[in-house]
Amino acid sequence: MIDFIEKVKDSYWFTNESPFRIHYVNNNSKVCIITGQNASGKSFLRKILSVRHEDENVEYIHLSQCGRSSSSGLMAVMVYGSEHENSTGYISTKGIKGAIKTGIERNKPFSIMLDEPEIGCSEELALSLSMKIKDNVDNMEHLNTLYIVTHSRNIVTPLLDLNPNYVNLHNSDDIAYPTIQDWLNRKIQPVDVDELYEKANKNWSAVSKLINNRKKQNESN
């Protein structure tokens, strides 16, 4: 099994020049829970992981809200269902069931990224989906890692039985949650919406600078 989080956490993309900080607890599990506030770098990490999987020739199966909106035509309906005809909860459920089925059938190394699988789900449905995921991890013989990006305690709690790896992403000035229990027990406090918007724009500018600097380095080599 390749530990892709270990490969990226100290990489160029998460140095002191990056707006994002990554805290990682490695429990040698095939399941990895990824947490973080909005604008903390979760989508950025997801993209970096995609590239690293490609570099190692490990298939990266990615299900997210972004995939729902960017996919089109028959493929979107087959994978996610119809946004016009089906409820959001139904589409989330269909996507997770499809990912599990695909994972069981794969005969070569792969990882699955479930990005906020709780979208559109009641607390009860989110809990049920997490239990279904937990019950099928061992049935995916060639699974490298199942990444789950989530804001939901009901997604995380059943998966504790698998002693999952844990990632907490945060900005340098944000509160970090070093353990999964710290995250589960955190006090929920409101955020300043306008401040969050400004932070997201600031982070994007910083990431763009990182990307441009890396391009210049590659061109000079």
Q: What is the pLDDT of residues 62-102, one digit of tens each?
A: 997 655 545 455 445 555 555 567 888 999 999 999 999 99
At 218 the pLDDT is: 82
Superfamily of domain 4-12+21-189: P-loop containing nucleotide triphosphate hydrolases (3.40.50.300)
Q: How many helices (H) and strands (E) does the chain have?
A: 9, 6
Lowest mean pLDDT among 25-29, 65-69, 131-135, 180-184: 65-69
Confidence of residue 201 (pLDDT cuts 50, 70, 90): very high
**Domain ranges, ordered by start, for the chain:** 4-12+21-189
At 65 the pLDDT is: 61
For residue 211, is pLDDT > 70? Answer: yes
**Closest to 64 (Cα-Cα) out of 116, 123, 2:** 116
